[in-house]
Chain A
Amino acid sequence: AQSVSQHNHHVILSEAASLELGCNYSYGGTVNLFWYVQYPGQHLQLLLKYFSGDPLVKGIKGFEAEFIKSKFSFNLRKPSVQWSDTAEYFCAVISYSSASKIIFGSGTRLSIRP
């Protein structure tokens, strides 16, 4: 069965630290990849997406992610986090041969110490 794994359930960092959140998916066909973020008390919103082309994609608020096809990974990175990055982050995959179902990871809660 297709799945998306986010191995870090809760990450705690200090401000200005670098961030990398892992995302691995299990599917060998064509996929589109997404990171969504849910700030406290707010609705989910798109952080960045990969459809094709340059495997390094940039999103809002200084986030970026790299698609590594050989590793089935789409890790999220930010060189220097801020307290306002405290949120829950979800990786998601749409595969095009499974009736276009979207699969989300279980999420990573990021807490930033001021």
Chain B
Amino acid sequence: KAGVTQTPRYLIKTRGQQVTLSCSPISGHRSVSWYQQTPGQGLQFLFEYFSETQRNKGNFPGRFSGRQFSNSRSEMNVSTLELGDSALYLCASTSEGLAYTGELFFGEGSRLTVL
């Protein structure tokens, strides 16, 4: 069974630009959640999508948005990039969603550097 796939793995942007990250979950998983990982902050929950609907949202500004497609693939968008957005962005999938999950399956992440 293929794991969670995230693209691109690395990217460099400049302040003010926008970026779109992609996540393909494990086949059959309907829930995709996104996290921002920075040194010292750990992982911070961005949002969760389940069957194309945003189910939960963390405490991030509106510049961070996402969506999920009918095949469960998800994209995350960050507009008007700031230096502080430099981080590793992780996505995780699970079959039934955060409320029921016993295990999140993580991808390897997309490392975003904002210059």
Contacts and interface: CB of A to CB of B under 8 A. Distances in A.
Contact of A51 (B3, B43, B102, B108): B102
B106 A104 contact: no
A45 interface: yes
Nearest to A4: B42
Contact of B90 (A42, A44, A46): A44
B56 interface: yes
Given A99-B56, A100-B56, A101-B98, A46 B103 contact: yes
Nearest to B6: A43
Contacts of A112: none
A102 B45 contact: yes
B106 A43 contact: yes
A98 B111 CA distance: 29
Given A43-B106, A44-B106, A96 B42 contact: no
Interface residues of A, number: 23
B98 A107 contact: no
A8 B3 CA distance: 31
Interface in A55-79: none
A18 B40 CA distance: 25
Interface in B69-115: 90, 92, 97-99, 101-104, 106-109
Nearest to A94: B98
Contacts of B98: 94, 100-102
Contact of B42 (A43, A45, A90, A101): A90
Interface of B: 3-4, 33, 35, 40-45, 48, 55-56, 58, 90, 92, 97-99, 101-104, 106-109
Given A9-B40, A43-B109, 16 more contacts: A42-B108, A43-B90, A43-B106, A44-B106, A94-B98, A99-B56, A100-B48, A100-B56, A100-B99, A101-B45, A101-B58, A102-B33, A104-B45, A106-B40, A106-B41, A107-B43
27 contacts: A36-B104, A36-B106, A42-B108, A43-B3, A43-B4, A43-B90, A43-B108, A44-B92, A45-B106, A46-B102, A49-B102, A49-B103, A90-B43, A94-B101, A96-B99, A100-B56, A100-B97, A100-B99, A102-B33, A102-B98, A102-B104, A103-B45, A104-B43, A104-B44, A105-B42, A106-B41, A107-B43
